[in-house]
Each structure stands twice: as C-alpha cells, then as structure tokens.
Structure 1
Amino acid sequence: MENSNSNIVQIESASEAQTSLNTQPETAEVTSAEKSLLGDTAPEIAGLAEQKEGRKVSKEQLVNRLNFINFQDDVIHIHFTHREYERTMLVAVAPEPCLGDTLELRWLGTTDVDSMLKSYHLDFMLVSHGQKFIKSVPEVLDIDAKGVCLALPEISREVSHRKVDRQRCRDISVYVLQNSASFSGTLLDFTASSFRTELKALPPQSFDWIDPSGPVNVILFSGNQTFFSGECRIIRCTQGQNTRSYVLESLRQEIPRYRKAEFRSQRQTLNPSPNINFRHPLTRKRVDLKVIDLSGSGFSVEEDENTAVLLPGLILPSIELRFSSSFKLNCSAQVVFRKPSKDKMGKRLRCGLAIIDVTAVEHVKLLGMLHQAKDKNSYLCSDIDLDDLWDFFFETGFVYPSKYAQLHKNKAEIRETYEKLYTRSPEIARHFIYQDNGAILGHMAMVRFWKSAWLTHHHAARKSALNRAGLMVLDQISRLVYDSYRLRSMHMDYLVCYYRPQNRFPNRIFGGVAGYINNPKGCSVDSFAFLKPTHFDHVQANLPVNWELGPLTDEGLCDLEYFYEKASGGLMLKALDLEPRKCWDDPLQAEFSANGFRRERHLFALNNDGRLQAVLIVYISDIGLNLSDLTHCVQALVLDPEHLPSEILLASLQQVCRATGQNEVPALIYPLSYVEKQSIPFEKTYNLWIIHNHSQFEYYFKYLNRLLRYK
C-alpha cells in the first residue's frame, strides 16, 4: 500500500515493509517479528502500546512540553488502531498553543479524515521528550478536516526509552545512486548510526532498479552545500511505486580526509578543555560537546551513544570552539572517525574531526595556544618588546657590522616596518620566539611573499642556547607548516628559504633535506649570485643596437620554463609564480596593502634580435621586510649564458631599477655559473631552497626526526 500523505504512517504487514518478494499470503495480523521489520516510521515508535509505562507526567508538565514543541515548529504523533484488524497508524500533527485543559492539533498536508475514521479510532498521542516519549490518553472532543480537539488527562506516562535518539530533519535533499541509477528525495530523520530518506521514482524510473542487497552511494545536501557523501547499505524500506522510504546505514566508521601519514599533528589535552558549539546541518538543532584533545589540524570529542549526532563523513560548516567566555574561534570541520570510547562510566563514542577551513588570524591564535601548551617558552605571533628583539639581533650577530652598514641609513623605516610586523599580527606574516624569563633565546619568521609560497627567514639563536633554542623555533615553524598547508586559506603549498651554503646550520638542515629527498620536483636548491648595488651602478646603462628591454610575455615565460627545466628541473618557477598563464594573477599587492605593507613585482624581458636572453624581476617591498634585502631587489634569470655579455646584463639591471623608481637595490643572478664564468664581481652566494609541502613534508619530518624527535 502506498500512502500519498507522508505525514501518515500506516503500519502494514511485513510483506509490505520489505523490498524483497514474499511468497507467503498476506494476513491482517502483524506479528512481533514483522514489527521488527517495519521501516516507514521511526522504529522506536512502533509497538509503543506494548511498552511498560514509566513515571507519571502531570498535565502541567505535558502542557509545557507541548508548548515547547509548538515553539520549535515541531510535531507530535497520534496513534490510531484499526477497528477490525490489529493494524495501527501514526499521524504526525502540529500542536497549537495550549492553555491547559484542551489541545488543538492541526493536520499536516491533506488528510482524508472521513475515510480514516471509518476504519480507525484514536488511542493515544505520543509527545517526544528527549530519549523518551510521553504517552497521553486524551478524550476526543472533535475531529474534522482541519484537525483534532482533545481534552487532556490529569496524568500521562513516560514510555519507551530509546536506544538511539532519532531527530527530525529539515530541508535536506538526498541523492541515492546505484549502478548509474540516480534517485532524488528528502531526508526525513537522522541518527548517527542510520537515517531515513523518502525517495521518488520519476518515469521511466522504477524502484526495481535499486538492489537492496547491494551498497548505494548517498549524498545529503542543501542548495550548493554538501553535508555528507558516502557508501551506505539499505537496512529496510517500504513498498510503493512512486515513493518509498529507505533506512540507510553508512558502511564506514572512518574516512580518509587526508592521506595517511607517519607523522601526525601533536595533540594536546588542555585544562580546562574547550567546548564545540554548532548548529547541526541536518537537524538545525544546537549541539554542545566537550573537546577531549586538540591539535592544529583537528580535535576529538565524546558523545553519549544514545544521543550521538556525529556521522563519519559529515561536514559541519560552522563550528564555534569555545575556550572561555572571552576566547572563541570559528572553523568548519569534517567528522573523520567514530569509535567506542575507553570511558567505563557508560556507552560513550569518541569522534575525531578534521579542520577543513579556518581564517588565518584564528588559526594562529589556536596554534599559539597549542605551542605554549607543549612548551611554555614557545611563542607564536605574540606581542614582543621590539627593543629586546633588536638587542637580540645585534647580540647574536644576526645583524653583523657589514649588514648594519647597509641598514643604518634606513633604520627609521625599518623600525616602522617591524612595529607593524610584530604588533599588528598581519595575515601575511608569522614570527616565532623562544624565550625564558623574558629573555629571547631564539627567533624565526616567515612571510607570504608569493601566492602559495611562504619565505622563512631571520633564523637566529643565542650561542649559549643554540642547540636548543635554534632547534625549537625550527620545530615551531615546521609544526605550523604541517598544521597549515592542507588548509587552502593558508596558501602554503610551498616553503621557501634563502641560505648561504657556508653557514653550517641551514646547510645541514635545508641542504640535507634536499639531498635526502633527492628529487628536484619535490625539493630543489638553486644557487644565485648576490650583487650589491655598487657592483653594477657604475656600468653604462645604454643598450647596444638590437638589444631591448620590454614587458615579459607568455611566450617568454614558455621559453623560461623550457630553459629552467633543462638547467634545474626544480620548483622555482612554480613557487615564485613564473609559470605561463598563471603569472599574471597576482593578488598579493592588494593583500599587502590591506595589511599596511607594500609589495610589487615588475617583469621585464631582455631580448636580442627578438630572442629572449634574460628575464628580470623587480621586487619592491617595505625596507627591512627581509633584512638581507631579498624581498627588495632585482632578480635576473639568464636563459642564454653563452650569448649574453655581462655588461649588457648589468646595464639592464640599472635600467629596470630606474624604470621602477628604485635606487641602490641589490641583485640576485641565476645561474651562479654564468656570473662565475663572466667574472662578474659578487658579494656572496645564496641557495634558494624550495619544498612542495603536499608531497614532501613527510620526508622533511623524517630527516629532522633525529634532531627534533618528532612523534
């Protein structure tokens, strides 16, 4: 029997409740075995008439519950029994506001009252109350096409302690797919272990296309937002040609949000522990759960088995993580596993959630708290006394005499830059401090200088604490990258570092990682010659005939790509946004400006008779953003070392600096072999180290494991 009104649930015989064919003759009797197969209504409602009644519920308590349900725009059920056969029917109705003695109920949709009353009489009503129902036997005062009017009894009873609390769902659409057949419908109710859907078969579709014994793929969504997709099995279903209800159970208790990794984010147990608060995407009800442990990439919570609401694979678009009344942060997350808890106090479930999006500012707050929970001396983007920081830079020798000779004339601008960097916590920068009793022992920083790549720099430590503080800030920055690179909003596909090969510590770390990975597509090192402005500002700036500087084009970028692939095969062009067609979309100028900083990039092509000889890139940023001027310089990438005279390249460096209004900026020239072969004077060598975080950061951790003891 197919009921056109989804608000009326008729409890049929088992042959009508199953999808498989039954050769036994249909009877009017409904046995207890058959009742266990009923699938159209919430299973815990069926058979409530036989349940042992519990504690008394006064009329006043019943009225209060009815008014709450009205306030929530929810429904109750009234129970009808067939006058001749042992069949029952549940009808969902909406209660009107109740003043005390009488209750008016409104039918939902169209109900054929006359036909129903010829065969059925009203027995009792069921009012949901948490994990139980209130069973009330009222007196029928009136029934018509609009609804029912009842006189409430003085005493009602609680019945049927539910195994699992089923919750009504609102405005959730469903796709069920099997063997290329797709059926659409709505989600009716939900538990963390199973959920009930109503599907429609539109011609030429037939429900015979669904094999109840095989798995189906289910998508739960609202508008453009998908909340769940996964493989499920069919527990039971009703009969019907045009509509059917299916009860489905997810086949997986754990989903791989990200590929499995040997190293994991460090979990911290905080005291007091935070709570998560969110509106459930399927039921629209508020949920509040205690966090058990927490990391920079996710957290786990516990919930009671009977009231569980977290289904593995479920996406929670908006979660508020509450640490106290004054500290909250928002994120979106996905449930990635559910398993029994070790708690012996009762049946509890432990659920893990992976963060899938969070703002950069709030993620830094979370990581800063976790870093300090791990080590009280580790600070991330904390307020710092800038006088102490500069004292640290000078005392450790990070600002050595020749470097200070270049910095001192711009010291006012540099102080202003650092005031913004270290007190305003801009989204484009991070700084890491290791300090004890107020004394800075180690420092490292990073800045997002390209679309999806961050430059790490300014690594320094006091000699008395070098072995610990230097490694600890490196540990901090490595942990931050590991917790961040999967989040698209962090723009952290690549990590970049310039280091001098004669400096033992960075050469051992970064050069060692590149050697360990031994794949330039995953981690590359390219050597540049660093020229001070005095190395090329004396050269005649005019170019000979047939040589010209002009704007770089996609064709020139293709030539650069071909040259670099043969010369290195590394990551420089990808990380530094120099790939054809991708080069021109550069949002960083606007983002730096929004944070109170300056960042510009100007691209030039040096051609000889129309043939590309070199690509020149002028970077303009705040003075002191990088204290070695590696973010305020001109880069030259020489494509044809055999046919580019050094004086023409140096003259071109002068011209592009003047064209962009820059004076006395240094130059970085690649490849280093060109500078050495041309005998161009240069001050030092910088190695440009780049790692692709998504594919290689596991190997980075493996290499550093013996130094930092990662777990």
Structure 2
Amino acid sequence: MKEIDIKTTGDSARDNLSQFASPRIFKHGQLFDERGIERFLSQKKLINKLNHINFIDGHIFILFNGEITNEQIIVKAYPQPCVKDELACLLDTETNPGDLDKCNPAYLMIEDGYNTILAATEIIGKDNNQIKITIPEKCYFITKRRTKRYHCADINCKVIQGDIHVPGMLIDFTPRGLGIKLTGTRKMKGFDEKKSVLINLSKNGVKLFSGICKCIRNDVDLPDGRIVFVPLNDQMALFPKREQRNPRQHIVPSFSMTFKHPFFKGTVERDIFDISPAGFSIKDKIDEETLLPGMIIPEITLIYAGILK
C-alpha cells in the first residue's frame, strides 16, 4: 500500500488517544460507558481476532474524528492480514463518506453481537479506499448486551407515524431493539422521536412483524442512517381473552419446538414449558432471547420425545 502522511492534531486529548483513550468520547447513543468495561485485551489477542476476521471475509468498523468539527463518523472496513503492529484495511464504499482527508481514525471497533472490542489507533497511511493504522498494545473488551444482536437481510420495513410513511430495511435486531435503515429519505419531516410509531416488517410479501415502537436512537445524520426502535409491551391482543382459560398441562417428556427465525438465517429450538388446546408457552434464557412482541412466525414444528413431529 502506498503510504501518505496525513496531518494529525497535536492537542493533549489527541495525544492521549494514541496511548489508551476513554470510550466516553462516543457521543451518539451513548454506545459505551464505564459500567460496560469488563477487561482489557492484549495486542496478541487483538491481532489474532483481526486475522480471523480477515480469514472469514468479515468486517470491522473504524471511528473517525473530524479535525475541525470533531464530528464522529463510523465507516465499515475489511481488514487485511496484520503485519506486526500495523493493520491495512479496505474501506467500504457504501459507508465511506468519501471525504476523510480532514478526519483522523480514533478507534477500530469489532462487534460480535454480545461484546465490543474498542482499540485506540492512529493513521500510518491512506490511499483512496485503503488505509493503514496502528494496533495498540492494549484495547477495551466491552460487554454491553445481555442479548445477542442479529444481523438481518432483505427484510422490508415501513415506519408509520400519523401521515408519515417512510420505507426502510431492517438491518439488525435484538428482542429489545430494531435497527432500521431508511431507504426513501433520511429526513422524516414532522417526525417526533418522543411519540410512538407503528412498524411493519415483511419479506417477499409475507408480514413478519407489526407493532407499536418508540425511537431510542436516531443516527440518520451518520453515513449508515440507522434508527433504533424498541417494541412497546402494550401490544394489542389479536384475540379476546377467554372467561375460562383452557387448562395448561406439563407434559413429561416435554414437547419442544423448532422454527426458522423470520428475521435472520438460523433455526431456533426451545423446550415447551406448558401446553393447552389454545397454545403453549416457552421459557427463554436472557442470553438466548430471539422473540419479541408482535413478531409473526410463519411455520413452527412441534416435536415430542425427540421423535414425533
């Protein structure tokens, strides 16, 4: 890679970043705080992680700080094999704003759905969509989520609030949040973040979710234009409550169920806690949650004693 010298700021805050910076510099959505920090990760383990991501053709994120405005820009990047304490990356053309000459990389960031690795870095060289940065001796290993975040693809979305109807795509989800990228326009004129919205999700014309949500994070001004909504618990019941509930039975050996998750590519299997003629219930561990109110599962397979279906 051709190396190009890029001017960096010389103030004390930037100098501290090169050593071991605090994650509190993140402003958007309060991504990290001190309570989320659990331990440090060595340079050797970070290099092994980066080389593994390169091997599986995965990606990382690089957080840039603007020299003049101090705005923060997150760009997806594809790491190449590490050379000693240096990392070369190919910047993603879709998330790259194209004008990073006045920005300096502050952090490289790796997410696996549960944890985030956050490493302070400095630029070595840049040429078009290629960049070379330093790998620090230590980095933060942060646990923020008790439930995994799943990446989604090809799921259409419509955000509705009064007369506002904005199309989008579901890009990731947890049972406590839907990450949506708007596809029509990033500017929702008249949109009130404090008021609830109706979100409809579908894939190939099949409805997968319909529910009332509220906005908890709005990053439409960032390159990825991502908005995060959380489903509200006060969902409308599809059927009226019965005056007398059907008796629920605990069956031994118990039933289990499997289904292809409507939001991501994966099969989910859970034990059935109790069952009645009207339905059944399951128990989800917090770190294995994949269901949320309003989600529609097109097809479920019930299994008894591991044999009958």
Report the TM-score, using the length of structure 2 for normalisation.
Answer: 0.72
Contact 2:36 2:144 in 1 (8 A): no
Are residues 1:109 and 2:90 paired?
A: no
Structure 1 residues 217-232: aligned runs within 5 Å: 217-232=198-213
CA distance in 1 between partners of 2:71 and 2:287 (Å)? 29
Letter matched to residue 293 of structure 2:
P
- The residue number in structure 2 matching 1:56 is 41
- The residue number in structure 2 matching 1:177 is 160
Shift in alpha-carbon separation, 1:209–1:84, aligned structure 2, 3 A = closer
Contact 2:47 2:82 in 1 (8 A): no
Q: CA deviation at 1:269?
A: 2.3
Q: CA deviation at 1:156?
A: 4.5
The one of 215, 221, 228 aligned to 2:196: 215
- The residue number in structure 2 matching 1:278 is 259
CA distance in 2 between partners of 1:114 and 1:49 (Å)? 33
The one of 99, 108, 123 aligned to 1:125: 108
CA distance in 1 between partners of 2:254 and 2:135 (Å)? 46
SS of alignment partner, residue 170 of structure 1: coil
Shift in alpha-carbon separation, 1:266–1:255, aligned structure 2, 3 A = farther
Q: CA deviation at 1:178?
A: 2.5
SS of alignment partner, residue 257 of structure 1: coil
- Structure 2's unaligned 5+ residue stretches are 1-23
SS of alignment partner, residue 135 of structure 1: strand
Are residues 1:301 and 2:285 paired?
A: no
Contact 1:57 1:157 in 2 (8 A): no
SS of alignment partner, residue 67 of structure 1: helix
The one of 27, 44, 61 aligned to 1:77: 61
- The residue number in structure 2 matching 1:463 is none
Shift in alpha-carbon separation, 1:270–1:256, aligned structure 2, 3 A = same
- The residue number in structure 2 matching 1:93 is 77
Shift in alpha-carbon separation, 1:67–1:305, aligned structure 2, 3 A = same
CA distance in 2 between partners of 1:112 and 1:93 (Å)? 9
Letter matched to residue 215 of structure 2:
I
Structure 1 residues 386-401: aligned runs within 5 Å: none
Shift in alpha-carbon separation, 1:293–1:185, aligned structure 2, 3 A = same
Contact 2:168 2:184 in 1 (8 A): no
- The residue number in structure 1 matching 2:173 is 190
Q: CA deviation at 1:226?
A: 0.9
Letter matched to residue 59 of structure 1:
K
CA distance in 2 between partners of 1:134 and 1:33 (Å)? 15
- The residue number in structure 1 matching 2:18 is none
* Residues 219-255 of structure 1: per-residue CA shift (max 9 Å, x gap): 0111111100122233343455xx9543322233554
SS of alignment partner, residue 115 of structure 1: coil
Contact 1:273 1:291 in 2 (8 A): yes
When the two chains are superposed, the root-mean-square deviation of aligned CA atoms in Å is 4.0
Q: CA deviation at 1:100?
A: 8.0
Q: CA deviation at 1:187?
A: 1.6
CA distance in 2 between partners of 1:227 and 1:297 (Å)? 21
- The residue number in structure 1 matching 2:272 is 291
Shift in alpha-carbon separation, 1:79–1:33, aligned structure 2, 3 A = closer
Q: CA deviation at 1:165?
A: 3.6
**Which structure carries more strand by proportion?**
2
* Residues 285-307 of structure 1: per-residue CA shift (max 9 Å, x gap): 44343332233443222223455
CA distance in 2 between partners of 1:239 and 1:130 (Å)? 22
SS of alignment partner, residue 284 of structure 1: coil
Contact 1:59 1:153 in 2 (8 A): no
Shift in alpha-carbon separation, 1:254–1:109, aligned structure 2, 3 A = same
- The residue number in structure 2 matching 1:146 is 129
Letter matched to residue 216 of structure 1:
V
Contact 2:254 2:305 in 1 (8 A): no
- The residue number in structure 1 matching 2:19 is none
CA distance in 1 between partners of 2:219 and 2:82 (Å)? 39
Q: CA deviation at 1:126?
A: 1.8
CA distance in 2 between partners of 1:49 and 1:267 (Å)? 45
- The residue number in structure 2 matching 1:158 is 141
Contact 1:60 1:100 in 2 (8 A): no
Shift in alpha-carbon separation, 1:110–1:64, aligned structure 2, 3 A = closer
Letter matched to residue 178 of structure 2:
F
* Residues 132-152 of structure 1: per-residue CA shift (max 9 Å, x gap): 222345675543333334565
Letter matched to residue 76 of structure 1:
I
Shift in alpha-carbon separation, 1:70–1:177, aligned structure 2, 3 A = farther
Between the aligned residues of both structures, percent identity stands at: 24
CA distance in 2 between partners of 1:33 and 1:143 (Å)? 24
SS of alignment partner, residue 172 of structure 2: strand
Shift in alpha-carbon separation, 1:170–1:64, aligned structure 2, 3 A = same
Structure 1 residues 534-553: aligned runs within 5 Å: none
SS of alignment partner, residue 251 of structure 2: coil
- The residue number in structure 2 matching 1:608 is none
Letter matched to residue 91 of structure 2:
W
CA distance in 2 between partners of 1:239 and 1:302 (Å)? 36
Contact 2:50 2:79 in 1 (8 A): no
SS of alignment partner, residue 100 of structure 2: helix
CA distance in 2 between partners of 1:33 and 1:94 (Å)? 24
Structure 1 residues 225-624: aligned runs within 5 Å: 225-238=206-219, 245-305=226-286, 308-327=289-308, 329=309
User: Paired residues, what number?
Assistant: 285
Letter matched to residue 270 of structure 1:
I
Letter matched to residue 314 of structure 1:
M
Contact 1:165 1:306 in 2 (8 A): yes
Are residues 1:199 and 2:182 paired?
A: yes
Contact 2:87 2:132 in 1 (8 A): yes
**Which structure carries more helix by proportion?**
1
* Residues 360-389 of structure 1: per-residue CA shift (max 9 Å, x gap): xxxxxxxxxxxxxxxxxxxxxxxxxxxxxx
* Residues 588-621 of structure 1: per-residue CA shift (max 9 Å, x gap): xxxxxxxxxxxxxxxxxxxxxxxxxxxxxxxxxx
- The residue number in structure 2 matching 1:577 is none
Contact 2:211 2:293 in 1 (8 A): no
Shift in alpha-carbon separation, 1:194–1:53, aligned structure 2, 3 A = closer
SS of alignment partner, residue 317 of structure 1: coil
Contact 2:178 2:230 in 1 (8 A): yes
Shift in alpha-carbon separation, 1:55–1:229, aligned structure 2, 3 A = same
Shift in alpha-carbon separation, 1:108–1:270, aligned structure 2, 3 A = farther
- The residue number in structure 1 matching 2:4 is none
Shift in alpha-carbon separation, 1:298–1:81, aligned structure 2, 3 A = same
